[in-house]
């Protein structure tokens, strides 16, 4: 049976013939780091995001890798992320609150 390894947001099978699989939360973070509004294709994007365990290592790495020009291109999505973090703090669902606290 293939062994699963978790590193940097990737779930890897030990078999060399398999493509690495990304965690769903990592795929959602990648959507935030595009110029498109991530909730455009999925209206429940933000609700779903805060139900998933935060991958701080991946999120911090993505933010640190941005230069000023790249950051300006995704400014609206980054602002939206923090706005939704603040909204999630007011919710009654404890998982959303805890995950929202870990993002900023």
Domain boundaries, the chain: 24-102
How far is the C-alpha of 51 from the C-alpha of 65, rounded, in Å? 25
Cα-based torsion angle of the residue sequence 88, 24, 45, 66 in order, rounded to the nearest 10 degrees: 80
pTM value? 0.76
pLDDT digits (tens, 9 = 90+) for 49-80: 999 999 999 999 998 999 999 999 999 999 99
Cα-based torsion angle of the residue sequence 68, 80, 64, 57 in order, rounded to the nearest 10 degrees: -170
Candidate from 7-16, 25-34, 57-66, 94-103 with smallest mean pLDDT: 7-16
- DSSP code of 22? E
């Amino acid at each position: 049976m293939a062994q699963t390894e978790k590193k940097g947001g990737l779930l890897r099978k030990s078999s060399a013939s398999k493509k690495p699989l990304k965690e769903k939360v990592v795929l959602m973070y990648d959507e935030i780091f595009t110029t498109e509004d991530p909730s455009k294709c999925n209206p429940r994007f933000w609700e779903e995001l805060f139900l998933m365990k935060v991958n701080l290592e991946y999120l911090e790495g993505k933010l640190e890798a941005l230069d000023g020009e790249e950051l300006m291109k995704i400014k609206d999505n980054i602002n939206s992320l923090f706005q939704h973090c603040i909204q999630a703090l007011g919710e009654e669902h404890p998982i959303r609150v805890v995950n929202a606290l870990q993002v900023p």
